Amino acid sequence: MTELLIKGGTVFTAEGPRNADVRVNDGVITEVEPGLTAAGRAVDASGMYVLPGALDVHVHSRDPGFPEKEDFGTLTAAAAAGGVTVVLDMPNTVPAVDSAGVLESKAALARSKARVDFGLWGLIRSTTTAEQLEAMADAGAVGFKAYLAYSFSLSRKQVLYSPNGDDPDLESPADYGTLARLAPALAHLGLPVAIHAEDPTVLAAFRRPVLTYDDLLASRPPEAEAVAVSAAAAVARDSGFHLHIAHLSSALGLQAAEDAVSLGTPMTLETCPQFLHLTAEDFGRVGAAMKMLPPIRTRADRDALLDGLKRGVISVLGTDHAPHTDAEKSAAFGDAPSGSPGVQTLYLSSLQLARDAGDVWLAPGWVSTAPARLAGLQESKGSIAPGFDADIVIVDPRSKTRVSSEGMRSRQRHGALEGLEFDFAIKHVYLRGESVARGAGKPRGRMVRPAPALR
Ligand code: NCD
Ligand code: ZN
């Protein structure tokens, strides 16, 4: 039996921060009490925070499909360095994860490279059947994702950034009708349904050449988000499937979501650190590294999202980690692809937001406890308590970390948050009791599956 004792830190527990030692046996937390004595390895955590590993519910590994942008090895090395011990990978890899067979081969590939645990989202296409959803659930999908404004290339088996025109190779995006048609099956399976909430008809009305950041904002108005949220929520409300709003970016979208929540719609709201640390005014400094969909918007949008997070209406922070190559991102603004790496800075950027909001202990809830619940993993992940996996992050609140290209473990070195400084540093990261932050040794990541009773 291998033992690890983390001594003298301030531990995040369900009852709040507590001075305690944490004993780990064979990768599982066995005791959280002050004054424990070591029988094996001991780590001094005095003056440090002892936090549950983060679960990033929104990453794009690019694997398989675009290994030059990222793969499961680089993704999970970045995650491990940043205290993220579970990543939930989105299905827009190539081939897209639209069947149990594709999900199983992606799982095998990920297992061979993953340095942290991982879960896989399945894709809802406009042609997806209830049988396909059920097979993906049986194969271990953590939930399903519908890209409301993105078409599907039949020849490339790939989700594309824009809705279809008349091209017969492009299948139209999943829409509210798709969700309504599949609602009974989705409710029966009990898995969350995440949506990329931009309504294609609103986007079509505002389509224009995108040469500048102002063009990007004008082409992706907040009405697109609000309409998508309201319509999807209207479908979810009575059918009872759990709706998850990915990367909420606007005050208008948040208002639409809050209205739906207040009507009793079963739903969770996610936003991302980049929508809270940056606004459109940062474009002059950051450039195309902050080009993403939906876009980073105005101060008023940022303030509304921060307020929603503080009030607990938004419960989950995910990163929408969406790397490309630095060369691709250096193209003319209109040609640069959308997305930024983010997984490595999830924890520290969230601790900073929580501290600036007046309570640093809110952060583990946003990045760990609430995400674990969303993924049906609340019995094994997201808490520091006996019986839970020893996914533990030790953070030094007296050191600072500057986000730099040299420190980046992802293939894309220049992300949207580059240059920011956080008043914390990651000291140790344990995945089921073993140190993973430095990325050495054999990949040990396992696939997580929602606990059947929680589905
Ligand atoms: C994501 C990607 O590149 O996969 N890009 C982005 O700008 N957010 C797609 C997505 O999450 O919508
Ligand atoms: Zn998206």
Does a structural domain hold residue 63?
Answer: yes
Measuring from atom 11 of ligand 1, which residue has the nearest CA? 320
Does residue 19 fall inside a structural domain? no
* Among 354, 377, 331, residue whose Cα is nearest residue 191: 377
Q: In the predicted model, what is the mean pLDDT of residues 18-36?
A: 98
Q: Find out whether the beta carbon of 196 lies less than 6 Å from any atom of ligand 1.
A: yes
Q: What is the CATH number of the domain that holds 346?
A: 3.20.20.140
Say yes or no: CB of residue 292 within 6 Å of ligand 1: yes
Number of domains in the chain: 1
Q: Is residue 75 part of a domain?
A: yes
409 is a domain residue: yes
Fill in the DSSP letter of residue 382.
Answer: S
d(CA 237, CA 146): 17
Structure tokens at 296: 């980073």
Report if residue 387 sits inside a domain: yes
Q: Is 73 in the pocket of ligand 1 (CB under 6 A)?
A: no
Taking a C-beta distance cutoff of 8 angstroms, is the pair 397, 321 a contact?
A: no
Give the pLDDT of residue 163: 75
Q: Confidence band (pLDDT; 50, 70, 90) for 164?
A: confident
Residue 82 domain flag: yes
- 343-384 residue pLDDT tens: 999 999 999 999 999 999 999 999 999 999 999 999 999 999
Q: In whole angstroms, give the CA distance from residue 18 to residue 341.
A: 33
Q: Considering the chain, what is the average pLDDT of its residues?
A: 97
Number of helical H runs and strand E runs in the chain: 15, 21
* Cα(76) to centroid(ligand 1), Å: 18
Name 56's bridge partners. 87
Confidence of residue 454 (pLDDT cuts 50, 70, 90): low
Given pLDDT bands bounded at 50, 70 and 90, which one contains residue 313? very high
pLDDT, residue 161, reads 86
Pocket probe mutation, ligand 1, options 291, 293, 297, 343, max atoms within 8 Å of Cβ = 293
* Residue nearest atom 5 in ligand 1 by C-alpha distance: 339
49, pLDDT greater than 70: yes
Instruction: State how far the alpha carbon of 412 is from the alpha carbons of 103, 322, 388, 404, in Å.
Output: 25, 9, 33, 12
Tens digit of pLDDT for each residue in 181-226?
Answer: 999 999 999 999 999 999 999 999 999 999 999 999 999 999 999 9
Q: Whose CA is nearest to atom 4 of ligand 1?
A: 322
What is the full DSSP assignment across 317-367? Answer: E---B----HHHHTS-TTTSPS-B--GGGHHHHHHHHHHHTT-GGGHHIII
pLDDT at 123: 98
CA-CA distance, 98 to 103, in Å (whole number)? Answer: 8
Domain contains 449? no
407 Cβ neighbours under 8 A, 6+ residues apart: 81, 344, 401
Q: How confident is the model at residue 283 (pLDDT cuts 50, 70, 90)?
A: very high
Given a contact cutoff of 8 angstroms between Cβ atoms, the answer to whether 288 and 336 are in contact is: yes
- The tens digit of pLDDT for each residue in 374-430 reads 999 999 999 999 999 999 999 999 999 999 999 999 999 999 999 999 999 999 999
Mean pLDDT value of segment 99-122: 98
**Residue 166 sits in which domain range?**
49-441
